Amino acid sequence: MKKNIKILFIGNSLTYYNDLPEVVRRFFEEIEVNAECVLLSMGGKCLDFHASSRQVSYNIRCGHYDYIVLQGKVTGFDPKLFVESGKSICDNYIFNTDSKTVLFMPWALKGRRKDQPVFTEAYKNLCEYAHGIMAPVGEAFLKVQRMRPAPVLYEKDANHPSIVGSYLAAATIFYAITGRDRMLRLPEEGGIYTEQGIDRPTAMALNRIACEKAKEFNE
C-alpha cells in the first residue's frame, strides 16, 4: 500500500457521527500510512441525493482519491433505489477515475437484527457491480452483539453509533481497504482505543471481528 492515500467519504450522519473519518485516519497512522480523509455528508440522505450533487461530482472527478466510500441511510432504506443510485455514481463519476469504490454497509436499527440481510444483499449487489471493496460493518455489528457481555454499539435513538460502534465501523473500513489477514497489534496503553475510552480487551475483540468480517466479505 502507498504511504500516502486519499479517501472520500460520501454518506450521512452514520458516517460523520463521532468523527468516523478521523478514526479511520488514525487506524492508518498505526501502519505508517498517511490517509487524507475528506467527508461529504448530509443527515438522513441516501445515495440518490449524492448522485445528483454537484459537490460530489466535482470531488470525485477532480479530487484524485484512491478510495471512495459510499454509505446509504438505514431508516426508510429502499434497496432498489440504493443500488440504482450507487450504479449511477459509479457510471457517471467513479468509473471515469482511478478510484476504488468501498461500500460501507451499515447496521440495522437496534432490535431489528432480522432486517440486516436486506442491507447485506443490497450492498453486495452494488459492490459486485462496482468491482469494489466491501466494508461489512453491519455484519460486524451482528457478531459483536452476540458477545457476552456485549459492548454498547448504539446511541439511545437505536440508530446512530456509540463511540464503540464508530470504532468498530472505522476498524472494519480499515481492514477492508488494507486487506490485512491479521488484526493490528494493539499497544498495552495508549493508541486509538484509549483515546476513544475503550478498554483493551474490548478493543481487541472489536478488531478481531472487524478483521474477520472484512476478510470474509472480500475473499
Run of H or E residues at 141? helix 137-144
**CA trace torsion 189, 191, 196, 197 (10° rounding):** 0
Mention every residue, 6+ apart, whose C-beta is less than 8 A from residue 112: none
From 207, 132, 214, select the one nearest 167 (Cα to Cα): 207
- In the structure grid, which three cell numbers stand for residue 24, read together? 479511520
User: How many domains does the chain contain in total?
Assistant: 1
**Which pLDDT band holds residue 84 (cuts at 50, 70, 90)?**
very high
Question: What is the mean predicted confidence (pLDDT) over 140-159?
Answer: 95
User: How much is the pLDDT for 190?
Assistant: 79
State the distance between the two ends of the chain, measured CA to CA, in whole angstroms.
18
Around 133, how many Cα atoms within 13 Å sit in the side-chain half-sphere?
20
pTM of the complete model:
0.96
**CA trace torsion 30, 33, 38, 41 (10° rounding):** -40
Task: Tell me the residue range of the domain where 212 lies.
Answer: 4-217
111: CATH? 3.40.50.1110
